[in-house]
C-alpha cells in the first residue's frame, strides 16, 4: 500500500531546490554618497565637500572635492575651476581642472581650460581646448611626502638668560 506521508517527503526533497540549512549571506555595501545639483539649480561661489558630486545644473566659481569624484552630467554647465580626485565630463566645462587621479571627457562633453592630471581619457567626439600637463607618479609621491614631512624648527637667536639681563641693567 501507498504511504502518502513518506512519499510526499521524498518527492518534495527530490523536486525542491537543494537546501542544506545554510542561508546565503547578502553582501550589502554602503551606498556611495553623492550630492546632486539638479537641472534647474544655479550656484555661484565655492562648492566644496567630502562626497562625490554630480552636476546637472549650472555652477559658477570653484569646485573643490579633493578626495572625491566630480561628474558633470549631460545637462551640466560649469564655469569654474575644479579640483578633485576624479573628474568625468559629459556636459560643458569652462575652467581649469586639477585631478589627483584621472580626467575622463566623454563623447558629448566639452572642456575649455587647462588640465593637470596623471591620467586622461578623451573619447571620440569630445571637445578639448587648452593645455594638458600629465603629472608623473614620482611627482605625486614627492608632493605627498612633502605634505607629511614635519617642518624643521625655525632658527631663532637665543634670548639672553633672565638673570643676566637683570644683572646687566643694575
* pLDDT tens figures, 33-71: 899 999 999 999 999 999 999 999 999 999 999 999 999
Q: How many structural domains does the chain have?
A: 1
CA nearest neighbour of 61 among 86, 34, 94, 39: 94
Here the cell at position 16 is 525542491
Q: At residue 169, what are phi and psi to the nearest 5 degrees?
A: -85, -15
Q: At residue 60, what are phi and psi to the nearest 5 degrees?
A: -125, 125
Domain enclosing residue 126, as ranges: 32-139
pLDDT tens readout for residues 142-164: 666 666 655 555 555 555 555 55
Residue with cell 617642518: 151
Amino acid at each position: 500500500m501507498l504511504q502518502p506521508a513518506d512519499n510526499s517527503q521524498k518527492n518534495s526533497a527530490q523536486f525542491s531546490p537543494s537546501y542544506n540549512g545554510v542561508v546565503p549571506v547578502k553582501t550589502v555595501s554602503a551606498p556611495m554618497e553623492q550630492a546632486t545639483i539638479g537641472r534647474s539649480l544655479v550656484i555661484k561661489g565655492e562648492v566644496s565637500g567630502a562626497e562625490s558630486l554630480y552636476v546637472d545644473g549650472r555652477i559658477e566659481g570653484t569646485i573643490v572635492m579633493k578626495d572625491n569624484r566630480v561628474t558633470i552630467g549631460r545637462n551640466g554647465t560649469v564655469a569654474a575651476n575644479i579640483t578633485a580626485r576624479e573628474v568625468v565630463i559629459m556636459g560643458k566645462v569652462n575652467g581649469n581642472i586639477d585631478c589627483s587621479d584621472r580626467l575622463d571627457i566623454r563623447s558629448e562633453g566639452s572642456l575649455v581650460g587647462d588640465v593637470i592630471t596623471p591620467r586622461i581619457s578623451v573619447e571620440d567626439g569630445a571637445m578639448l581646448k587648452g593645455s594638458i600637463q600629465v603629472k608623473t607618479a614620482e611627482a605625486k609621491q614627492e608632493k605627498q611626502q612633502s605634505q607629511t614631512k614635519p617642518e624643521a624648527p625655525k632658527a631663532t637667536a637665543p634670548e639672553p638668560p633672565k638673570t643676566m639681563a637683570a644683572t646687566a641693567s643694575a
